[in-house]
Chains A and B, each alone.
Chain A
Amino acid sequence: MSDSTLQDSYDIAIIGAGPAGMSAAITASTAGASVVVIDDKARPGGQIYRNVGNSPLHNSDLLGADYLQGRSLIDSFNNCPAEKLSAANVWHLGENGEVLFSQNQQTRSLSAREVIVTVGAMERPFPINGWHLPGVMSAGSAQVMLKSDGLVCDDAVFVGTGPLLYLIVAQYLRLGVRVRALVDTTPVSNYIQSIRYLPGALAHARMLAKGLGLLNEIRRSGTAVYRFAREVKIVGEGRASGVCFQAKGQTHQLDSNHIFLHQGVIPNLNMTRSLGLKHRWCSQQLCWKPTINNWGQSSIDSIAVAGDGGGIVGAEGAELSGKLAALNQLHRLGRIDKRQRDSQAAPSQHRLQHLNRFRQYIDRLYSPQDQQRLPQQDDTVVCRCEEQNLGQLRAGFDQGARGPNELKSLTRCGMGPCQGRQCGHTVSELLAQWRDEPVEAVGYYRLRSPMRLLNLTELSQFSRVQPKPDLEFNSSSTADSDSDIKSIKGAAQ
């Protein structure tokens, strides 16, 4: 990390150092703009390239070629002239370009003419019966534990749909971890309906082959695979003891103390919503997205959104969209003219269009089932922080709470520490169903900073004086020490 002095203002502030943020920083800073990148992790890479340069695993090649591809991007990023702040949590971003963040137990502020928000994706909530029980985790969290701390657990059941799910199962198997079963909830209808997008996807034969390769790898390993699963429920008193589902006309129950759920990813909305950007409901990806143009520019013209935070595009798409957002802002700052912007952008735009056609196919194929997005039973928990279930929300609606904010005020659904991340989409879709109106008409929670829990002492250390950099950080492990979870640091042969 750089040792130069942190300024109090920049041409461009980039929030996040995943593929989109890194690529935007490289493009903007090498063109001469003053750029600061603020990332909450100890090392750049985002979720996808987490710890690439510093894996706890002896043989991180087992995590796959894509994971390692990140190395060259990270190297270019580390060598570019942008100011990089790591382990720094942005908890407020204002539409005026004011950035407040916590670093080393202190609140600091800076401001920027232009901002690129690259906050990435989060896993789509999986609100089925029992999803809140201890022992149930998202498959992505399982992967985070693997990538950052080399922690895995034997005999877990993986449930859901989507490429990331298959990838994590394959990564587990390659590391020699026993997997109890893969319960694939992709319905037959998705295979049929996605066929019409297949021609567009065929241009990406390599990516298709990679996906099929993962599934074959899982089958060849002898792992039990249940396809076309429906009516999935977690069973257990006080903690998960198994998962129950129907597949091919039969009811199955698999016993396991660890259930990993996954049904794709959605944009992480908390920053773009707190900013007050306009959003729209995307029926292809079944999620809210900030409304952005081809350059990632949002409804506030000095703020761009790039990468999965603006709509799921994947790692390569994120890298391209980061570059495009940076080029447009360089133009806005007067550093390049329109012709330069357009000519430098053309190859990336072309490639992004291509990727989008592949994305259409993937989105359709792995579109999550209604019954896994909209809770079906009154006792299914919707808001985990405030423990509000479907029945309680329905009662609130019947009392007159027509919108997400009224429902929040009445039931506390969405008031907890996750700031609605876990229930926001579910609540929008439920209200749309109950009102028999489009999700767009229902809207989303009115969010505010702080975008994460903020320690009172951190806030009280707030100062507007020019901050001094202190860039020595240690990464710390946050994984819990569940007895079944074992460390495999160095275990892979």
Chain B
Amino acid sequence: MNPDVLIIGGGIQGCASAYHLTKAGVRVTVLEKDWVSRHASGVNAGGVRMLGRHLAEVELSKASMALWAQLDDELDDDTGYRARSLINIASDEADMATLRAREKKMHSVGHFHEKIIDQQELRQRLPHVAPHCIGGVISEADGYAIPYKSTLAFRRAAERHGARFIEGETVRAIRQVGNSWLVKAQRSDYEAGQLLNCAGAWADKIAVMMGDNVPMSYSAPMLMITTRMPHFATPVVGAVSRPLSFKQFENGTVLIGGGAKGFADRDANRTRLDYSKLAAGSKNAIEFFPIMKTAAINRMWAGLEAYMPDNLPVIGPCTQANNGYHAFGFSAHGFQMGPIVGKVMAELIIKGGSAFSLDAFRVDRFERKVL
């Protein structure tokens, strides 16, 4: 029997959408070209944050945070989610000025979850921070989760509601005839009334097959992780104006990110690392936290991630076809949004609309620009 909805891509967006759809009684099949959570959803930094979001994303991000808070119960699984707070560190007065301007803007539209902290409070919360750091901004509800486990938790919950996941199945061609999407994949053909594109770093190819051109690019954000260290940082840490981001997990390992990008070879499913950029990231980590001087790096990696020119995702219906939808291009900050995006996509597909304003995320938002 054909499913009602065919989802292309078994990352967190695809799995969360499959969960919310099947929970509402919709029949869903997910096609994944490798295996579920193989790419960005499984290897990202696991940041679950509202702090510093683009204004267009704040409502969705806040709603997603509410879902994260009870996600383990909802999915009856272990996502590894921990609310530890997130602090972006200011290292000079210019940073503090940036924070005050941001605060003013956020307050003016009614968002109060980001709070500026002074040097004393910064040191209380992060005793090992370097002396030159003078303050920062904190979002108390932020934290992290374990990406692979979180994505798998959605998958398993969706499967319990009847979703089918087909792994190792690459989509080759898509066409729409009448009310049916006909999808030709590597091993088999599929048919469904509704089609959802959650194909991550490959989503622009799927979008084109569905009739939407989109100026998406892709890259390979890099991460590295240390061996276990004595506990020294509870909050997740970032910096206002420097590419620094790290978090210490409960087992003592420290994950260091910061958004530096390696080299992506999308066709070969591979990434190469840019070690000089990782070296710069190491320098920053040591400069902000001298205790990291002796940290031993255990592993380094990168994942393939989709980026949009404005670093905002595409969330919403196809413009060129009926019954087609997109959720991709999260530009390296989509993990936290996964739970709410799944819910929004289910609402769009089932009810034809969402309570959230999705205008900033339209797939054709770049079409109107005259260059």
Contacts and interface: CB of A to CB of B under 8 A. Distances in A.
B112 to A, nearest CB: 37
Given A410-B149, A419-B299, A449-B300, A456 B272 contact: no
A410 B36 CA distance: 12
B276 A462 contact: yes
Interface string A444-474: 0000111001111101111010000000000
B295 A456 contact: yes
Contact of B275 (A92, A453, A457): A92
A403 B37 CA distance: 13
A448 B299 CA distance: 7
Nearest to A386: B251
Listed from nearest, the 5 A-B pairs whose CB atoms lie closest are: A462-B279, A460-B282, A409-B148, A453-B296, A460-B283
A94 interface: yes
B358 interface: no
A459 B35 contact: no
A64 interface: no
A256 to B, nearest CB: 31
Nearest to B293: A457
A107 interface: yes
Contact of B294 (A107, A419, A456, A462): A456
B292 interface: yes
Given A409-B37, A456-B292, 4 more contacts: A100-B275, A415-B299, A455-B295, A455-B297
A417 interface: yes
Contacts of B292: 456
Contact of A459 (B37, B149, B279, B294): B279
A454 B297 contact: yes
A89 B14 CA distance: 42
Interface in B280-336: 280, 282-283, 285-286, 292-301
Interface string A315-355: 00000000000000000000000000000000000000000
Interface residues of A, number: 30
Given A107-B279, A409-B148, A462-B275, A456 B270 contact: no
A449 B37 CA distance: 22
Task: Say whether chain B's binding surface is mostly helix, strand, loop, or mixed.
Answer: helix
B295 A417 contact: no
B275 A417 contact: no
B58 interface: no
Contacts of A455: 294-297
Interface in A104-139: 107, 109
Nearest to B298: A417
Contact of B148 (A109, A402, A410, A457): A410
Q: Which of B273, B279, B280 counts the most A-chain CB atoms under 10 A from its CB?
A: B279
B227 interface: yes
B6 interface: no
B286 A456 contact: yes
Interface string A265-277: 0000000000010
Nearest to A94: B272
A406 interface: yes
Contacts of A459: 275, 278-279, 282, 297
Contacts of B170: none
Interface of A: 92, 94, 100, 107, 109, 276, 399-400, 402-403, 406, 409-410, 415-417, 419, 448-450, 453-457, 459-462, 464
Contacts of A402: 35
A276 to B, nearest CB: 7
Interface string B236-279: 00000000000000000000000000000000001011011011
B296 A460 contact: no
29 contacts: A92-B273, A94-B272, A100-B275, A107-B279, A399-B156, A409-B37, A410-B148, A415-B298, A415-B299, A416-B298, A417-B227, A419-B299, A448-B301, A449-B275, A454-B296, A454-B297, A455-B296, A455-B297, A456-B285, A456-B286, A456-B292, A456-B293, A456-B294, A456-B297, A460-B282, A460-B283, A462-B275, A462-B278, A464-B276
Contacts of B42: 409
B152 interface: yes
A164 to B, nearest CB: 29
Nearest to B285: A456
A403 B283 CA distance: 36
B226 interface: yes
A453 B280 CA distance: 18
B75 to A, nearest CB: 14
Contact of A453 (B37, B152, B227, B279): B227
A443 to B, nearest CB: 12
B276 A417 contact: no
B19 to A, nearest CB: 16
A276 B276 CA distance: 21
A304 B148 CA distance: 35
Contacts of A419: 298-299
Q: Which of A406, A410, A449, A454 counts the most B-chain CB atoms under 10 A from its CB?
A: A454
A410 B299 contact: no
A449 B149 contact: no
Contacts of A462: 275-276, 278-279, 282
A100 B276 CA distance: 11
